[in-house]
């Protein structure tokens, strides 16, 4: 059981703006706010009538809610008022309700003798690790292929059937039209706390490295070509294609099914909209949509 006091201590002073209900209330599991569940912790991001309707219907015992001027004085369920209920809910789940983390190397995994695997890592069934280096507490799921010249930091998670460090697609043509491959001598450098989804491909660099900086998140079914740099805190979502040499700036968001042509920069804090085709640099802090992608006009 987790008490309201324990949740408040985790979230720290200033995050919890108001507590409505008994501080000794306790929860034993998370649940969606609707329908909710007895003894559960939930969150609600609605305001106004939607918020009050959800609170009147939920079966949950404690709910994280946003600030609202018409919250009940003596509510049931008990309420913790926070600025961002969804984010704080995730923090509570990570601390009190996370699944036990697996540790060890599955007998069917294949590791090169020169592979370096840090402490408290997990390497799943049929995974293959070449001459690569893994930091501490990395989680390598089933059927992942990590090839030579890959270096990753601590607390990296890689989903099933992802391939990291394979040669990218780079060719020239001889005078007679014969394709000439561009040799790849670079590697892949992955920072700390990076999450990479399932069935994603991250190519090694040509002469320099492909780089994923600390705290970036790459979804399932993403293609990251050679010499891409994904800066810290950036999100790259499912079915996106980042062509060779692309830079995704710090805390940028690249939405599903987007395509970004080679050598472009997505600026810091920018957003690339759903299924956008990016053919020009995206300025920091802007939102682009469409094919070809264009900035959204400012709201009136």
What distance in Å separates the CA atoms of residue 184 and residue 273, rounded to the nearest whole number? 32
Q: To the nearest whole number, what is the mean pLDDT of the chain?
A: 94
Closest CA to 119 of 99, 98, 105, 100: 105
Burial level of 297, CB count in 10 A (0-12/13-18/19+)?
A: exposed
Percent with pLDDT over 90 in the chain? 83
Whether residue 72 has pLDDT greater than 90: no
For residue 18, what pLDDT is reported?
82
Q: Is the pTM of this model over 0.85?
A: yes
The residue count of the chain comes to 300
Whether residue 73 has pLDDT greater than 70: no
Q: Where in the chain is the domain with CATH 3.40.1390.10?
A: 2-96
pLDDT digits (tens, 9 = 90+) for 184-224: 999 999 999 999 999 999 999 999 999 999 999 999 999 99
Q: Does CATH place domain 2-96 in 3.40.1390.10?
A: yes
Closest CA to 161 of 218, 201, 132, 123: 201
CATH number of 104-295: 2.160.10.10
**Active site amino acids:** 226
The two beta strands, 294-295 and 287-289, are antiparallel
Percent with pLDDT over 70 in the chain? 97
For residue 23, what pLDDT is reported?
76
Task: Give the residue, 224 or 99, on which the prediction is more confident.
Answer: 224
Strand partners, 241: 223, 259
pLDDT digits (tens, 9 = 90+) for 117-138: 999 999 999 999 999 999 999 9
pLDDT digits (tens, 9 = 90+) for 13-24: 678 888 888 777
First to last CA, the chain: 49
Hunting for tokens 């961002």 — which residue is that? 84
For residue 299, what pLDDT is reported?
67
Task: Give the residue, 147 or 12, on which the prediction is more confident.
Answer: 147
Q: Where in the chain is the domain with CATH 2.160.10.10?
A: 104-295
Say how many CA atoms lie within 13 Å of 256 toward its Cβ. Answer: 4
**CA of 283: how far to CAs of 41, 224, 229, 271, 292, in Å?**
40, 21, 16, 10, 15
Whether residue 300 has pLDDT greater than 80: no
Whether residue 54 has pLDDT greater than 70: yes
Q: C-alpha angle 225/174/147, rounded to 5°?
A: 30
């Amino acid at each position: 059981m987790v008490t309201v006091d324990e949740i408040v201590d985790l979230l720290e002073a200033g995050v919890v703006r108001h507590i409505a209900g008994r501080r000794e209330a306790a929860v034993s599991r998370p649940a969606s706010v609707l329908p909710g569940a007895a003894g559960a912790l939930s969150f609600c991001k609605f305001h106004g009538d939607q918020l009050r309707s959800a609170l009147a219907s939920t079966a949950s015992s404690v709910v994280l809610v946003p600030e609202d001027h018409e919250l009940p004085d003596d509510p049931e369920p008990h309420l913790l008022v926070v600025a961002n209920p969804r984010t704080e809910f995730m923090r509570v789940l990570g601390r009190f309700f996370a699944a036990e983390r697996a540790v060890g190397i599955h007998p069917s995994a294949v590791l090169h003798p020169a592979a370096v695997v840090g402490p408290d890592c997990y390497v799943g069934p049929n995974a293959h690790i070449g001459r690569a280096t893994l930091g501490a507490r990395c989680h390598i799921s089933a059927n992942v292929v990590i090839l030579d010249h890959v270096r990753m930091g601590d607390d990296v998670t890689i989903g099933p059937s992802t391939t990291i460090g394979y040669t990218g697609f780079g060719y020239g043509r001889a005078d007679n039209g014969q394709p000439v491959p561009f040799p790849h001598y670079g590697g892949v450098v992955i920072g700390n706390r990076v999450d990479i989804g399932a069935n994603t491909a991250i190519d090694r660099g040509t002469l320099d490295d492909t780089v994923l900086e600390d705290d970036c998140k790459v979804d399932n079914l993403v293609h990251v070509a050679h010499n891409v740099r994904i800066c810290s805190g950036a999100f790259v979502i499912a079915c996106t294609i980042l062509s060779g040499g692309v830079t995704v700036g710090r805390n940028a968001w690249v939405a599903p099914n987007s395509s970004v042509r080679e050598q472009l920069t997505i600026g810091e804090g920018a957003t690339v909209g759903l299924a956008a085709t990016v053919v020009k640099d995206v300025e920091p802090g802007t939102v682009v949509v469409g094919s070809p992608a264009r900035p959204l006009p400012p709201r009136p």
